[in-house]
Chain A
Amino acid sequence: MKRVFPILAVPTAALLGYALYEALVAAPTEQTMGNVQRIFYYHVPSAWTAFILFFVNFFASIAYLIWRNTKADIVALVTAEVGVVFCSVVLVTGPIWARPVWGIWWTWDLRLTLTLVLWLIYVSYLVLRKFSSSGQTPLLAAVLAVFGALDVPLVYFSIWFFRTQHPQPVIGGGGSIDPRMLHVLLINWLAFSCFAALVCWSRYRLEILRREFDETMALEALLEPRTSHTNSSRSAG
């Protein structure tokens, strides 16, 4: 297993480097916005990656509720953690771009609010995982994930009622994009997805090892109850 990580990590790093070059140097400068627009190559791929990870989290949670499979639970945990990181990238890069272009840092528009609410839901998901006692965590977390997924369309419609200020989606929306820019965008998305998959995979390995370690420690504690006594006597003295 140790060999697999560099084999995956090296091409991912190369791809990320190439995508960085494409975004900062090779992509044409946008006419009206100038170089600020280049943040788009990080903002949009991060958003897509985060949404895919949240999707995977939802299906893994459903799978856990049906089959009670530990691996599904770990997948749900891992995708939520990495998804929150990418979602944070979206929420940080968005205002940096919006300030020079729109003149404001933030507006309560459809996509912005939806992303923020998603981020809040998944942060609360991670807090729940952190605070619940270990045996019940997977089940409670899976239930919360289902609630969060049900919430998304309702959030969408509630905010859809306000006028939207965000630029129309570049793919499948009304907006048009230079084919060269689209090319750079897709390369960046590919690189980000590979990176996310790599991080998820190593986090998955780590979580499995951590659980094995916890089980071993619990077993050892059962076999040798003396250690806790020595600790307490030392603190008393």
Chain B
Amino acid sequence: MSTVAGLTRATLSKDLRLEWRSKDAINSMLFFSLLVVVIFSFSFDPTAEESRHIAGGLVWVAFLFAAVVALNQTWARELRNQVLDAYRVSPAPPNALFLAKVIGNFIFVTVLQALMTPLFIMFYNLRALGPAYQLPIVAALGTWALVVNGTFFAAMSIRTRSREIMLPLLLFPISIPALLAMVEATSSILTGDFSAKFWIVLLAAYDVVFTIASLFLFGFVLQAE
């Protein structure tokens, strides 16, 4: 167990250091979601009341597209200099690598959300009418759902032709229940009309199911030849 934790920590700190020095993923994600926010804001120009209803969908669509940008880079980075091949022949457990990548992406997307949320509030005049303390919970669970599946499917799509296109094609259909839950939970907290409890439970169930499934199956994908 300690080897898994140690390897995870080592890989994670390597990824974070790489990102800290290059800032490739975070910059492209930030600029991308900024563009989405501005374009949506132009095309809808909503009042405060309307924006409360559509903001849940808007926010998560922006984060989803931005996350795909980062997810596409996670494994592509390891293809240079055959790092992934080296990892495959090493006796290190595959799940340590997978967990490190998931946690790394989770941190990137969370940083993105922390930076983008003030902008959303500004552009759309948002104010939560429901229990606002639930928003961070929804954000954390939703981000984990996107990132755990996204990292897994990114590892699958680097094995295909035109890999950049492949990731959203695999990720979006499977993520539909999670996306629905995130959007509905955020909307019900913002409008205060309904309780978001059911959606939070559903998101948590989604996270548990797909985290376990990914940990089970990642070995197959890494070793696929």
By a beta-carbon cutoff of 8 Å, the part of chain A in contact with chain B is 65, 117, 120-121, 123-124, 127-128, 131-133, 135-136, 139-140, 143-144, 146-148, 150-151, 154-155, 157-159, 161
Counting from the closest, the 6 A-B pairs by CB-CB distance are: A120-B173, A158-B177, A154-B177, A132-B160, A131-B160, A136-B224
**Which residues of the other chain, B, contact A135 by a CB distance below 8 angstroms?**
225
- Most chain A CB inside 10 Å of its own CB: which residue of B173, B177, B178, B198: B173
Report the separation of the CA atoms of residues A173 and B172 in the bound assembly, to the nearest whole angstrom.
32
With contacts A150-B209, A161-B198 known, is A140 near B159, CB below 8 A? yes
Q: Once the chains bind, are A128 and B177 in contact (CB under 8 Å)? A: no
**Which residues of the other chain, A, contact B166 by a CB distance below 8 angstroms?**
127-128, 131
Q: Of residues 110 to 154 in B, which have CB atoms within 8 Å of A's CB atoms? A: 149, 152
Instruction: Select one of B198, B209, B220 contacting A154, CB under 8 A.
Output: B209
Q: Of residues 187 to 202 in B, which have CB atoms within 8 Å of A's CB atoms? A: 198-199, 202
Report the separation of the CA atoms of residues A155 and B202 in the bound assembly, to the nearest whole angstrom.
10
**SS class of chain B's interface: helix, strand, loop or mixed?**
helix
A27 CB → nearest B CB, Å: 36
Q: Is B156 an interface residue (CB 8 A)?
A: yes
A82 CB → nearest B CB, Å: 19
B199 CB → nearest A CB, Å: 8
With contacts A143-B156, A158-B181 known, is A124 near B202, CB below 8 A? no
Q: Once the chains bind, are B156 and A144 in contact (CB under 8 Å)? A: yes
Instruction: Select one of A136, A146, A147, A151 contacting B177, CB under 8 A.
Output: A151
Report the separation of the CA atoms of residues A136 and B156 in the bound assembly, to the nearest whole angstrom.
10
Q: Once the chains bind, are B181 and A139 in contact (CB under 8 Å)? A: no
**Which residues of the other chain, B, contact A117 by a CB distance below 8 angstroms?**
173, 176
With contacts A117-B173, A124-B169, A140-B224 known, is A132 near B213, CB below 8 A? no
Q: Once the chains bind, are B159 and A150 in contact (CB under 8 Å)? A: no
Q: Is B217 an interface residue (CB 8 A)?
A: yes
Q: Once the chains bind, are B173 and A133 in contact (CB under 8 Å)? A: no
**Which residues of the other chain, A, contact B156 by a CB distance below 8 angstroms?**
128, 140, 143-144
Q: Is B206 an interface residue (CB 8 A)?
A: yes
Q: Once the chains bind, are B213 and A146 in contact (CB under 8 Å)? A: yes
Instruction: Select one of A65, A123, A154 contacting B206, CB under 8 A.
Output: A154
Instruction: Select one of A139, A144, A150, A154 contacting B170, CB under 8 A.
Output: A144
Report the separation of the CA atoms of residues A121 and B170 in the bound assembly, to the nearest whole angstrom.
8
**Which residues of the other chain, B, contact A144 by a CB distance below 8 angstroms?**
156, 170
Instruction: List, sorted by A's number, 9 A–B pairs whose CB atoms are closer than 8 Å.
Output: A65-B217, A65-B220, A117-B176, A120-B173, A124-B172, A127-B166, A131-B160, A154-B202, A154-B206
**Which residues of the other chain, A, contact B162 by a CB distance below 8 angstroms?**
131
From B205, which residue of chain A is reached at the shortest CB distance?
A154
Q: Is B80 an interface residue (CB 8 A)?
A: no
With contacts A128-B166, A150-B209 known, is A155 near B177, CB below 8 A? yes
With contacts A136-B224, A144-B156 known, is A124 near B173, CB below 8 A? yes
**Which residues of the other chain, B, contact A139 by a CB distance below 8 angstroms?**
220-221, 224
